[in-house]
Amino acid sequence: MFIVIAMMFSGIAFGYLMRRYRFTHISKATIFFIWVLLFVLGVEVGGNPNIIRSLHTLGVEAIFIAGMSILGSAIAAMLLWKSVKKHEEKERKNER
Amino acid sequence: MKGSLIIIGFFILGIICGVTDLIPAEALEGNVSLYALCALMFCVGVSIGNDPDSISSFKQLPRRLTLLPIATILGTWAALVIVNLLLDFRTTQQCYAVGSGFGYYSLSSIFITKYMGVELGTLALLTNVARELLTLLAAPFLVKFFGPLSLISAGGATTMDTVLPSVIRYSGKQYAILSIYQGFVVDFSVPFMVTFFCTI
């Protein structure tokens, strides 16, 4: 965990020090490593017979829990977004 | 959308390789994904550090947005009340332990397997993988219907790595650091929340 965070900070430092050069292909590299990660995850899931056997029952349940969680978090974020907007408008009025 | 489908395509390709034993899971034992994750986070760091705009535009965001991780956690927990009501064969404790992985599948599935057994551990893995994949798929719709923060919230712990490019694309570049911050906070909270719900 800590090594992963350390990698990010060393990336920030490296990117900042080299800011005279624009790394235009960095987003392509990012996507590539996401592909690798998801592929490896797939191999691990696919290579585990326990998971594959229970996929048709647990899979449906998993999609339901995940979908509901996403919806709940999205609504909470929307409420926060609205409260931030309201607060900003109030401040703008006060400034006038 | 196309980008997300390609990512999910790689996941499915991986499953096919795993099922057919084309690539045995032992060959990848832990290290490959750690190296890939390290490389990914390095790239994420470089793109942030290399772009002075990303930090200055983050500073212009309202202070209140630092509450986003709390909104994420409370929103998911509220939804789990409904999940718990509808899945009456699962206990409240099981629902909350599985749901509190926030997309951090590797850690939450290991913890839950240890405390609650293989079945629940597998469910935790699938649920949290599904959270990541569904977030990627739904990214443009989430932003359209629930605003730019909703995508960051939906991604849970994954918004500092795999979901970050989608956040930059659909919510906007100014949300990149907020997205990393939210992923960071949720990531660190997952082990505490999962252990809490497993042991009460």
In chain B (200 residues long), the average pLDDT of successive 10-residue segments reads 86 92 74 87 89 80 92 98 95 96 92 91 94 96 97 96 93 92 94 92
Asked whether the beta carbons of residue A15 and residue B25 sit closer than 8 angstroms, the reply is no
Cα–Cα dist A86/B97, whole Å: 35
Q: Which residue, A31, A47, A63, sits at the end of a domain?
A: A47
Q: Where are the alpha helices (DSSP H) in B29-158?
A: 31-49, 52-59, 68-86, 92-99, 105-116, 118-146, 148-155
Looking at CA atoms only, how far is residue B120 from chain A in angstroms?
Answer: 9
Residues A10, A37 within the same domain: yes
Q: What domain count does chain A have?
A: 2
What are the sequence ranges of the domains in chain B?
Answer: 1-41, 61-200
Looking at CA atoms only, how far is residue B162 from chain A in angstroms?
Answer: 6
Residues A39, A69 within the same domain: no
pLDDT in tens, A6-60: 998 999 999 999 888 888 888 899 999 999 988 988 898 888 888 898 888 999 9
Q: How confident is the model at residue A96 (pLDDT cuts 50, 70, 90)?
A: low
Determine the pLDDT at residue B126.
94
Determine the pLDDT at residue B69.
97
| DSSP three-state, residue A54 | helix
CA angle B175, B178, B180 (to 5 degrees): 110
What CA dihedral angle connects B73, B78, B82 and B84, to 10 degrees? 60
Looking at CA atoms only, how far is residue B186 from chain A in angstroms?
Answer: 12
Residues of A in contact with B48 (CB under 8 A): 11-12, 15
Q: Which domain holds residue A3?
A: 1-47
Asked whether the beta carbons of residue A72 and residue B135 sit closer than 8 angstroms, the reply is no
Determine the pLDDT at residue B200.
83
Which residues in chain A (14-73) have CB-CB distances under 8 A to chain B?
14-19, 22-23, 26-27, 29-31, 33-48, 50-52, 54-55, 58-59, 61-73
Cα–Cα dist B2/B194, whole Å: 33
Determine the pLDDT at residue B33.
83
Tell me how far CA of residue B200 lies from CA of B3, B96, B115, B124, in angstroms: 41, 11, 11, 18
Residues A72, A43 within the same domain: no
Looking from the CA of B85 toward its CB, the CA atoms found within 13 Å total 7
- Give, to the nearest 10 degrees, the angle between helix B176-199 and helix B105-116: 0
Residues of B in contact with A63 (CB under 8 A): 130, 134
Asked whether the beta carbons of residue A64 and residue B83 sit closer than 8 angstroms, the reply is yes
Determine the pLDDT at residue B3.
81
Residues A60, A96 within the same domain: yes
Q: Which residue of A has its CA nearest to B6?
A: A35
Asked whether the beta carbons of residue A76 and residue B72 sit closer than 8 angstroms, the reply is yes
Cα–Cα dist B71/B185, whole Å: 12
